[in-house]
Amino acid sequence: AAAAQGQADSPELRKAIRDDMINLEVMAQEAVKAGLDKNADVVQQVELAKQSVLVGAFVQDYAKNHPISEDQLKQEYDKLKAKLGNKEYNTRHILVETEAEAKDIIAQLGKKAKFEKLAAKSKDTGSAAQGGSLGWAVPGNFVPEFANALLNLKKGEYTKVPVQSQFGWHVIKLDDTRELKVPPFEEVKAQLQQRLQQQSIKKAIDELRAKAKIE
């Protein structure tokens, strides 16, 4: 195990590992003699530790027996490219509670009010402090209503009609666009594999939960 962690195998290392194992065994025996293995809290912790080991073994075994294929990885990569598109958008928005508030902001913008200043009223406090800036992002990162409105804007424009989403009413401004270069497949392959493996394990767990009877 130590060698697997990058430590060179040696007689000294083997002795240190053996000493550690002996120490653990001696202390465990003393704990049993003291009756600590019957302590309710200890019993619970031992059971949780056992479950944790079993869960780790299950995940490793499932991943081994349900490998992610190259085709699956390429399909996921194609979906990622489609979602990202070929452009990034530098966007601002002001989020308010009502359509009337959004219309009032649009009216003020029409009278040459500064978007950044009006953004101080935004419900989105994180971007409000940055003049409404959401930074560079792809439309796929936003809810559909927001993304669709954004795609219809030209550089420097803002929405002349309030945009409603699940979060409230938005006034959106497009500051700039730039070309997006999607990383090559080989560069993101490991991340895609990890993501798909996690999704596969989650699906398996959901199916097990649906069938399980836990009292």
CATH number of 172's domain: 3.10.50.40
Same domain, 99 and 13: no
Measure CA of the first residue to CA of the last residue in the chain; give whole Å: 38
Q: List the domain range (segments joined by +) for residue 15.
A: 3-65
Contact status, residue 172 vs residue 145, Cβ threshold 8 Å: no
**Does residue 215 lie within any of the structural domains?**
no
109 with 155, same domain: the answer is yes
Q: Check pLDDT > 50 for residue 170.
A: yes
- In this model, does residue 5 exceed pLDDT 80? no
Distance CA 82, CA 140 (A): 9
* Tally of domains in the chain: 2
Q: Is 57 in the same domain as 102?
A: no
State how far the Cα of 72 lies from the Cα of 194, in Å rounded to an integer: 12
Assess whether pLDDT exceeds 60 at residue 4. no
Q: Is the pTM of this model over 0.75?
A: no
User: What distance in Å separates the CA atoms of residue 139 and residue 88, rounded to the nearest whole number?
Assistant: 8
Query: How would residue 214 be classed by pLDDT, with cut points 50, 70 and 90?
Result: low
